[in-house]
Amino acid sequence: MRQTSTAPRNNKLKPSSNLIMNGSVRVRVIRTLLAIQNGQSLASVLDPLLNSLHDGDKGFAHALLLTTLRQWHALARLLDTLADNPIDEVEVRTTIQVGLVQLLYLEVADHAAIHETVEAAKEIEFAHATGLINAILRKVAKNPSKFRKKCDKKHSLPNWLAYQLKQDWSEQYDDLMQGLRQPAPMFLRVNTAVTSVADYQQALDGAEIDADLVELTSGFNLSNSSDTASSNSILTKGLRLHQSTAVNALPQFSEGAASVQDMHAQLAAPLIHSALLNKLSIKNDDVDVDTDTNNNNNEVRILDACAAPGGKLAHWLELISSNDSTLFHVKQNDESVPLVSKVKLTAIDNEAPRIERIHTNLQRLNLSQHDLQQAEKNVELNIVCADATTWQGAGKKKSKLVFDAILLDSPCTATGVIRRHPDISILRTEEDVEQTTLLQADILHNLWPQLKVGGYLLYVTCSILKQENVEQMQDFMTYYNNITAVEFSDDCNWGIEQAIGRQCLPIDSESGDGFYYALLQKTAE
Question: Known catalytic residues?
Answer: 462
Among 128, 127, 139, 59, smallest CA distance to 99 is for 139
Q: Helices 90-104 and 130-142 sit at what angle, rounded to 10 degrees?
A: 20
Among 237, 234, 239, smallest CA distance to 260 is for 239
Instruction: Return the C-alpha torsion angle 449, 504, 242, 191, nearest 10.
Output: -20
- 336 bridge partner residues: 331
Residues 6 or more apart in contact with residue 106 via CB below 8 angstroms: 63, 64, 67
Among 104, 107, 24, smallest CA distance to 72 is for 104
Residue 454 near residue 279, CB atoms below 8 Å: yes
Residue 519 near residue 467, CB atoms below 8 Å: no
Q: How far apart are CA 341 and CA 275, in angstroms?
A: 18
Among 225, 3, 227, 6, smallest CA distance to 96 is for 6
Residue 447 near residue 457, CB atoms below 8 Å: yes
Q: How far apart are CA 513 and CA 502, in angstroms?
A: 13
Distances (CA, A) of 445 to 276, 451, 456, 477, 504: 21, 11, 14, 10, 25
Residue 95 near residue 79, CB atoms below 8 Å: no
Using left for φ > 0, alpha for ψ between -120 and 50, and beta otherwise, residue 74 falls in: alpha
Q: Please, how many CA atoms are within 13 Å of residue 225, restricted to the half-sphere of its CB?
A: 16
The identity of residue 275, as a single letter, is: A
Around Cβ 139, how many Cβ atoms within 10 Å?
11
Residue 458 near residue 275, CB atoms below 8 Å: yes
